[in-house]
Structure 1
Amino acid sequence: MHPVTVFLLRTLGIVWTVPNTLFGLIAGVAGMPFGARARWSRAEFAIVFDRWPWGPGGAMTLGNCIINTHDGLDAQCMTYEHRAGHLEEPHVRLGDHERAHVYQYMLLGPLFLPLYLLLGGVSVRNPLERAADRYAHTGKGWWPWGHRRVAR
């Protein structure tokens, strides 16, 4: 794809998901007096708040913003299917998983959160989560529909 086309599509995606990104910025900034640190991640195409002080651990993406309880996004995590006992597979890099969600947000914009909840929320049943895990493993397939499942 032509670089100008890629730039325009990314810009449209950023604008389309601004409402979600604003929620992420509010949450991230709220954690800063308690130790959260903000930074831009070119790799994840997002503003990342590392060391976010609340929650069970892990990360959450809101638009082009990632709220992360770890020191960075290089932490390794289990996939949803592995955690649910459906299959055994290697851990994935947390940042790769969250980058898939950034791309999903940029395509779905304000529709992402209602669709995410409708599809099962934070669970192995959610095709958005399974696609993010697939992307973290392979670097491909962040969109959950229109692909063929590859046997591992």
Structure 2
Amino acid sequence: MNAASRPWPIWLRALQVLGALWTVPNTLIGLLGGLAGLLGGAKMRWSGRDCAVVFDHWPWGPGGAITLGNVILHTGYDLGMCCRTYAHQAGWGVEPLIRLDDHERAHVYQYLVLGPLYLPVYLLCGGVSARNPFERAADHYARFGHGWWP
């Protein structure tokens, strides 16, 4: 059983609830985007494994997914799809494919820690790129099941 599939102890679940409250402003942005996506054919579901409301088949964007608090906006049909790591795509080396849901779950955890500070810190760290330590940590977590914090 890997770290991603183990149940959280009660004290950690309490911290998860506090983190979810801390990141409510980000979650509300995600919910607004997701609800708008419903008009374009998105499908909403709860993913307990990812601790997030997931909007599959979200109709806008270049493809892939974006996490906003406890919301994941996903342009595909299956968040469990395989994808390349940021480092692999940047040509920094050859790495095995990772699961997109595992990568996005790492971002959910990062939001639980930083709350409303996440987006500004994420952007200051390089935004959507292989340079960003948040993206590298999410890729690491998706590969190994631990190490979601940069």
Question: 1: distance between equivalents of 2:129 and 2:89?
Answer: 10
How high is the sequence identity, in percent, across the aligned residues?
62
Q: Deviations over 1:67-111 (max 9, x none)?
A: 000102111111000000001011110000000000000000000
Question: 2: distance between equivalents of 1:127 and 1:111?
Answer: 15
Aligned residue number for residue 10 of structure 2: 4
Q: In structure 2, list runs of 5 or more residues that go unmatched.
A: 1-7
> Partner amino acid for 2:114?
L
> Partner amino acid for 2:25?
P
Secondary structure of the residue aligned to 2:77 is coil
> Partner amino acid for 1:84?
A
Q: CA RMSD in A?
A: 0.9
Q: 1:114 aligns with which of 116, 120, 124?
A: 120
Listed as ranges, the matches of 1:1-150 within 5 Å are: 3-144=9-150
Question: 1: distance between equivalents of 2:83 and 2:60?
Answer: 18
Q: In structure 1, list runs of 5 or more residues that go unmatched.
A: 145-152
For normalisation by structure 1, the TM-score amounts to 0.92
Question: 1: distance between equivalents of 2:106 and 2:13?
Answer: 18
Report the number of matched residues. Answer: 143
Secondary structure of the residue aligned to 2:128 is coil
